[in-house]
Copies of this chain bind each other. A is one copy, B any other.
């Protein structure tokens, strides 16, 4: 048993002072391993060995009823047999034994639980039942429980040194807190960390998240003094509202890099089959991540590189990069990637060019990139780096392909000296120089292999700097006529309808303050002329019937009706032909620019707001911007900027910029409508006319679907 060290008392409180619930997991005062095996190949034993080897200073208890001692520690037959108070219990027992041991833990007033054991929700119905019971008991007793079906956790903090994984390698301390919804991906990255020399503060394999969720762990990591960046491998989440709230808060303080597994339908199915969780639509998840300020990466290698860059480097003030190289082709590829990531390569100042000319050879190209060519020596690199770090740009990316006569180590040292004097991030890429990369321990820059990796990391740094700077939006609430919509929905429910027709849908929009072109609903021939009198010709006549989905396809729309006589004729013809609840008369609005606004719930019920260009065939392009509710005004502004084809909203083809604040308000009101009525599954506002004049921004047609509708897209 490890003797009680001086630092153990420290484990009882977090650096901030007060003890937080998850401290029992990440900073326990004592640890008991239930299922500590005498077999060195057994997971229970491997965790014990890791715990002892990594230098945890608190008392460690091995529980094994069939052994006298394990790894030199006395073995206890049960938790009850341990007299001292216990902080954390780690369970590596068969699944049928988990609940009984948890009962012992509750008795013993254990304050934290890690359940490594698998075979719960992810395996079968019996496992799901046991997991529900596990959750119930842990919650009832107020014990944070990590897992089940997980590979443990670690905390590398000096004085804590807690390694409760069965990973074959011990972690190096560093600034990355790594939270993983996949144990195997966790293992992959922890192993990779050894060769890639990644440093970690915390790690948690989240398992089935029966009690402690990725958001709980995220909040804990956000408060952890040693954590500079949180790397999250995410496959699924259940509560988008809490996710948005927590992650938005965290990303204002620390970057969250997220590798999302299951972004394609097949990938999501694969994730579902191994976690037993319902698939979240890829679109909803990407929207939530973007909205929350998390940085989404595409691959494991990008995940590792971006996390490292954010842990090691200062943030840039903007998106301008100077690129320094001795190799043309690799610099071209890096430039392509910098530009793809939204970075700029501003031209050099004249002063910089002149200073560079004093050291560079005649072959050197003194633009941006600065290409020192194969003749670039370490002292030229150092000088050039100093010059470029004094440019107005925000970052320096330095590439070096080792030519026969120049030492990469010397170039790196020169770059280090230059970087030491600058507050700007310096990213170096030394491709195909693995030995050097493995030995080097640069303090003032981060070293990558391929130039394109450095470019991607530079993009992520700039992205996160913007996340930090972006204003927090407001959740606005408008005065609306909620009763009116409630009555419309109630009527539909009484009639067992799941579709509101155009008249009802537009009425609902109006009740929420969303402007609609001047319209009148006509129930009978008698009403036609009196209603038409209040409108300005030409008019459009539209069929109103809940069962008609695409009015145009059944001849349910007649446009450009210029006279009362023509209107009568059109009305008679349409009502004779189609079974209608009535017709809608609408003033013909001049079509200038049209958008589609919408709302959907995905299969998991996650509420999404959509905006895209209008027009008959634009839907074929499926080019919309998406946000998940709840949305701030800032979210909606960003959504309009990000909408494919958004440049039509600016001055475009002789048209003045649209009344953007009006559109923002309309989208917020639409979101409020959807949020107020969980019965609503879909809203289509199509088209919504937009213009420079706020008064000319109006909905022309709309359709609201209720849950249970077979029409719902439920994507």
Interface of A with B (CB < 8 Å)? 41, 43, 46, 118-119, 123, 166, 168, 180-189, 191-192, 195, 233, 235, 259, 261-267, 269-271, 273-275, 298-301, 323, 326-333, 335-340, 344-345, 362-363, 365, 367, 369, 371, 374, 401-405, 431-434, 450-452, 550, 553, 560, 593-594, 613-618, 620-621, 623, 644-648, 652-654
Contacts and interface: CB of A to CB of B under 8 A. Distances in A.
A653 B333 CA distance: 43
Contacts of A331: 270, 274
B327 A184 contact: yes
Given A182-B328, A274-B371, A404-B41, A648 B623 contact: no
Contact of A593 (B181, B191, B263, B617): B617
Contact of A261 (B188, B333, B621): B333
A267 B333 contact: yes
A222 B323 CA distance: 36
Q: Main SS of the interface on chain A?
A: mixed
B367 A336 contact: no
Contacts of A265: 339
Contacts of A300: 330, 333, 431, 450-452
Contacts of A621: 613, 618, 621, 623, 644-645
A166 B615 CA distance: 60
Given A330-B185, A620-B647, A336 B267 contact: yes
Given A337-B299, A402-B191, A233 B617 contact: no
Contacts of A433: 191
The CB with the most chain B CB atoms within 10 A, among A187, A259, A613, A614, is that of A187
Nearest to A623: B621
Contact of A332 (B274, B336, B371, B654): B274
A432 B186 CA distance: 11
Nearest to A118: B363
Contacts of A274: 328, 331-332, 365, 371
Nearest to A647: B620
A314 to B, nearest CB: 24
A86 B267 CA distance: 61
Nearest to A190: B432
A405 B647 CA distance: 57
A618 B620 contact: no
B168 A401 contact: no
Contacts of A620: 613, 645-648, 652
B615 A654 contact: no
Given A184-B327, A340-B264, A363-B119, A332 B270 contact: yes
A299 B452 contact: yes
Nearest to A265: B339
Contact of A188 (B189, B270, B431): B431
B46 A329 contact: no
Nearest to A433: B191
Nearest to A655: B553
B363 A332 contact: no
A195 B119 contact: no
A233 B613 CA distance: 39
A662 to B, nearest CB: 19
- How many subunits of this chain does the assembly comprise? 2
A280 to B, nearest CB: 13
A436 to B, nearest CB: 11
Contact of A404 (B168, B189, B403): B168
Given A299-B337, A299-B450, A613-B621, A192 B648 contact: no
Contact of A553 (B330, B560, B614, B654): B654
Contacts of A195: 432, 434
Contact of A233 (B166, B329, B648): B329
A189 B31 CA distance: 50
Contacts of A41: 404-405
A241 to B, nearest CB: 25
Contacts of A369: 270, 273
A332 B431 contact: no
A613 to B, nearest CB: 5
Contacts of A266: 335-336, 338-339, 344-345
A571 B221 CA distance: 74
A365 B273 contact: yes
A128 to B, nearest CB: 14
B618 A332 contact: no
B339 A184 contact: no
Nearest to A449: B301
Contacts of A233: 329
Given A166-B404, A182-B332, A261-B329, 8 more contacts: A186-B329, A263-B336, A270-B332, A270-B367, A271-B328, A613-B618, A620-B648, A621-B644
Contact of A270 (B168, B335, B340): B335
Contacts of A550: 653-654
Contacts of A363: 118-119, 123
A401 B336 contact: no
B328 A46 contact: no
A327 B188 CA distance: 9
A36 to B, nearest CB: 15
B46 A450 contact: no
B332 A262 contact: yes
A402 B434 CA distance: 23
A506 to B, nearest CB: 22
Contacts of A299: 333, 337, 450, 452
19 contacts: A182-B329, A182-B330, A184-B326, A184-B328, A188-B329, A188-B431, A191-B402, A192-B431, A261-B332, A264-B339, A266-B336, A270-B328, A273-B371, A274-B365, A274-B371, A553-B654, A615-B618, A620-B652, A621-B621
Given A338-B266, A404-B41, A329 B180 contact: yes
A233 B336 CA distance: 14
B648 A332 contact: no
